[in-house]
Amino acid sequence: MEYEPVIGLEVHAQMLTQSKIFCSCSTVFGGDPNAYTCPVCTGQPGSLPVLNRKVVEYTMRAALATHGTIAPYSLFARKNYFYPDLPKGYQISQYELPLSSDGYVEVQVDGGRKRIGIIRIHLEEDAGKLVHDLSSERGSHSYVDFNRTGVPLIEIVSAPDMHTPEEAAAYLRKLRAILMFLDICDGNMEEGSFRCDANISLRPRGQKTLGVKTELKNMNSFRNVQRALDYEIRRQTALIDQGDRIVQETRLWDAARGVTSAMRGKEEAHDYRYFPDPDLVAVVVEPEWIAAVKAYLPELPEAKKERFVREYGIPEYDAEVLTSSKPLANYYEACLQGYAKPKIVSNWIMSELLRELKRDEREIEECPVPASNLAQMLKLIDEGMISGKIAKSVFEEMYRTGKKAGEIVKEKGWIQVTDASAIERAVAEILAQYPKEAEEYRKGREKVFGFFVGQVMKATQGKANPQLVNELLKKKLLG
């Protein structure tokens, strides 16, 4: 039988506020263990949480950018469970009344657009980190680092609207880009500031009711999310095909082995006993506050893409790529400041620049070629200083050394030869060298022309102005 996978994703995104969600400790990553702690975030007796309103504002940005409704009244709840990295014995989260609900994002899949629902977005605090030392002389010890405790998170729960691992990846990419465009999350998946759990079930194609789902955890990259979902689809398909039942459980993705495996039952058999946190008052959001946050929302990927198409006349595909991250879009527009031919800039970025970055696994922020340098190089082509062909080598040098195009061209002697007499000499030499081919051309075998262009360029080490080479060759061959 053919099955349709049904996928829903839960994303935890760390908010980029300066201080923690319920105290004024710094959220800075790294630092000595427990350097950024206080009585509140270490759960000392008698300490009380006070909500950082910046976190509410950031969450509202995320909600507005994903077309969500913002609740005028929302509540914090306690999620109770014991673990040493959870100093109060409960996590403060939102449960019955989250800050936002009913949003969506649109993704581009298989040439079409698809809307993926967001059920809710809520605020919560992160837990701490356990450090295990197995080498100690007195036997193994575990330590707790509370620096991360109380770092603000938002949880974004999607509707079960995705049906392929590719759709899931597209949704995650779009969501991450939106949060980064909003300047509320750094999107770093390896450090865990953007992490994702997936719920997945199968059902016979055409059936409406949902099958039994499993929850997948421990996937720290887009690729791993896709791989884990792929694996889980195969695993569940095989089970159903042989007449077995799917067990509802949490499964951990093992990237090294490429498999998911069930967590032990005890670890997940939690009754969290949620109830409203009596230490915090309700979050009341007045319409004026929403309006103020809305007014300062930056341009989002979708709007930017449309503007690029409209304003710069570039194809939709180019615009989609260039707006996939905010720094990349900024880079593109900075280039245009110095060189106003949008499609040419787009071509260079999408082919040369992104290829180099991808090879080195670098982000656009780490690009050694400043946008202004790329613009300057493109100008040199227009001015006839360098040929388009040489330009590719110039660019590689720029990327390698960080130097400016003009400098490289001078150093390497790559300035284009536009002196007609010098080119004429080269043409004459080549024609003298290949009389037979010249004869063939004159008899009508036009293909040979390309051969002569190549030979002349070779003789001038690629520096000859191709247009002049064309003109002079034609003149000599026919004249």
Partner 1 sequence: MELYKMTAHRLGELLRRGEITSREITRSVQDRIDQVEGRIHAYITLLPDLALKQADEADARIRSGDAEPLTGIPVAIKDLICTAGIRTTCGSHILDNFVPTYDATVTDRLKKAGAVFVGKANMDEFAMGSSTETSYFGPTRNPWDLERIPGGSSGGSAASVAADECILSLGSDTGGSIRQPAACCGIVGFKPTYGRVSRYGLVAFASSLDQIGPFAKDIRDTALMLNVISGFEPRDSTSVNLPVPDYTQSLINDVQGLVLGVPREAFGEGIDPEVEATVREAIRTLERLGAKIADVSLPHSAYAVAVYYIIAPAEASSNLARYDGVKYGFRAAGTYELLEMYKETRSQGFGAEVKRRIMLGTYALSAGYYDAYYRKASQVRTLIGRDFAEAFAKCDVLVLPTAPTPAFKLGEKVDDPLQMYLSDIYTIPCNLAGLPGLSFPCGFSSSGLPIGLQVLGNHFQEEKILRVAYTYERNTDHHLRKPNL
Residues that bind partner 1 (CB under 8 A): 39, 42-51, 78, 80, 82, 84, 87-90, 144, 271, 273-275, 278-281
| Residue nearer to partner 1 on the CB measure, 72 or 84 | 84
Cα 155 to Cα 12, 99, 204, 264: the distances in Å are: 5, 11, 30, 24
Q: Closer to partner 1 by CB, 2 or 271: give it.
A: 271
Give how far the C-alpha of residue 396 lies from the chain's centroid of Cα atoms, to the nearest Å: 24
Least distance to partner 1, CB of residue 127, Å: 13
The minimum distance between CB 49 and partner 1, in angstroms, equals 7
Give the contacts of 65 (CB within 8 A, at least 6 positions apart). 178, 181, 182, 297, 300
Q: Give whichever of 34 and 220 is closer to partner 1, judged by the CB atom.
A: 34
Shortest gap between Cβ of 288 and partner 1 (angstroms)?
20
Distance of closest approach, residue 266 Cβ to partner 1, in angstroms: 9
Question: Which is closer to partner 1, CB of 53 or CB of 234?
Answer: 53
Task: Supply the minimum distance, in Å, between the C-beta of residue 250 and partner 1.
Answer: 17
Q: Are strands 100-109 and 112-125 parallel, antiparallel or unpaired?
A: antiparallel
For residue 20 the two structure tokens come to 């923690």
Distance CA 196, CA 168 (A): 11
Amino acid at 231: Y
Of 51 and 239, the one with the shorter C-beta distance to partner 1 is 51
DSSP sequence for 8-43: EEEEEEE---SB-SSSS-B--SS-STTSS--TTTTT
Q: How far is the CB of 396 from partner 1 (least distance, A)?
A: 56
| Residue 102 C-alpha from the chain's centroid | 24
CB of 273 to partner 1, least distance (A): 4
> 61 vs 88, which CB is nearer to partner 1?
88
Which residues on adjacent β-strands are paired with residue 130?
144
> Cβ closer to partner 1: 276 or 338?
276
Q: Are strands 129-133 and 283-284 parallel, antiparallel or unpaired?
A: unpaired
Those residues with Cβ within 8 angstroms of residue 9's Cβ, 6 or more apart along the chain or in another chain? 157, 158, 162, 168, 171, 172, 196, 197, 198, 199
Closer by beta carbon to partner 1, 132 or else 443: 132
Min CB(264)–partner 1 separation in Å: 13
Report the b/e string of 188-216 with b at 16+ CB within 10 A. ebeebbbbbbbbbbbbeeeeeeebebbbb
